[in-house]
Chains A and B, each alone.
Chain A
């Protein structure tokens, strides 16, 4: 791969990224501006103030400023990475997002890896033994879990492992009464197990189904028939001819699932009261904390974009056929 192509690729992606974030920022801002949320009321929370003070606040929040000016100011602040001050935390939005996102990213990374590895393994086993009880079990599991609301799965896991068996604490990132910086690693990790387990169990279904179907297709192809006639069989056959073919699209698919991963994290964090960015987004939305909510929307857009970028890169870096040919983008 030559350097020029790489530069062109990243340049193209950078331009796309900037346009996307601009459009997302403007789009979400307009949506929120159309909403009946009154920033002054959201700030005051029914506190009694005099008319003059309300006037000052209205000037501060710019309720009478035209929409275009507001969008312009919003974008200017965005360029300086100034996302405003959160109304519920009374702290700069960017600090809150960094704080909460680190907790979320640990959770999402663990479940992303787990769901990818387990899902792929399940898919391979099911595809290899097509029609057997294992295949049927995997299929039933995948259908059921894809139709189940992920928060309900989380609740069931919470009931079984935390309430009945009592193996894990019920929720929260750290024990009650302990500062998040003071919590020991074990205290912190034990609260991560159940949310990560839920997210992985939910997330492995698409990858398992995809791997299974692809493997069955590969195994019914002519060159596998030829390999069989040469005497290859069993696990070696699957390893040499199946997995090599399906690993790359499976990895790409897993990278493309960042959007669902984030959506699942929002619900699962809510169930387990895990102090991540998803729970913060829900709190911000419910309490009309507009700056924080918009900040999280932009953060999530960046997150999804990174996933798509990695998917493109994985194709380009792993597949020798694409590496040789020029890419068209």
Chain B
């Protein structure tokens, strides 16, 4: 059923006429710009001045997120924390991606390898995610390494599952059999014939992995397993603000959590829009 879509390219979109593709690209670029600027700002915020005169202030124009018990500006702390979270999320995503690519390609070798990969995925799925992260971070002795490895070694399952089913389908193709008959090695087939076909899945998977990694990093730090208390991480800020909840210092918890939510949403936006562009079914709309 092929129907010609009504094209409303002529319609004004903000300043100039644009089609869906341009709009999508603009959304991606804007979101990416915000995230990169948060990351860069967070990197440069090192010493946040303390002043006990202006401790525990309500949000005002001078301190738009208020100040904490040491008089530190909460906006600066939040940005620094977000920068840290993005970095941890980035490293963890890289680790997870490598694992899922390796496992996905490994599952193409033979039926036994495929069953092995399925078993490992099942095992990681059978323990609640947060307990698994705690377990792995305990294994690495906690701290920064613990949280990075904990988040990194446990987020590969959704992507690995997608890749495995994708690989399964590709393996039934004619040219794979042909390559096998020509005596190519399994590794050669996996890297030359299968990997190029799953690249777009990997890209989308990585971007959608990011927000989960960031949220879990914050959660694990909030529980006290992750980053040490002197780091300006979002989880640390939030668990600190728990002590001031009953005093009514709502801004200590509200704004940092809200900023985390916005960053996570931005990553989701980017992921969905990139998927729209890469998926051949929706790319032409």
Contacts and interface: CB of A to CB of B under 8 A. Distances in A.
Interface of A: 20, 23-24, 27-28, 31-32, 34-37, 143-144, 147-152, 155-156, 158-159, 163-164, 170, 259-260, 262-263, 266-267, 270-271, 281-282, 285-286, 293, 296-297, 300-301, 303-305
Interface SS, B side: helix
Interface stretch (B64-72, B189-197, B250-258): B250-258
B275 to A, nearest CB: 15
B135 to A, nearest CB: 5
> Which interface residue of A144, A150, A259 has the most chain B CB atoms within 10 A?
A259
B253 A159 contact: yes
Interface string B235-278: 00010011001101010011001001100110010000000000
B139 interface: yes
B257 A155 contact: yes
A282 B235 CA distance: 15
Contact of B126 (A35, A147, A150, A305): A305
A285 B140 CA distance: 13
A27 B122 CA distance: 13
A147 B135 contact: no
B219 A267 contact: yes
B130 interface: yes
B225 interface: yes
A112 to B, nearest CB: 14
Contacts of B17: none
Contact of A286 (B224, B242, B250): B224
Nearest to B140: A35
Interface string B211-234: 100010011001111000000000
A172 to B, nearest CB: 13
B129 A263 contact: yes
Top 4 A-B residue pairs of the complex, sorted by shortest distance between their CB atoms: A152-B257, A147-B264, A263-B130, A262-B128
Residue picked from B126, B131, B211, B264, most chain A C-beta under 10 Å:
B131
Contacts of B250: 159
Contacts of B241: 155
A17 B123 CA distance: 11
A266 B260 contact: no
Contacts of A143: 265, 268
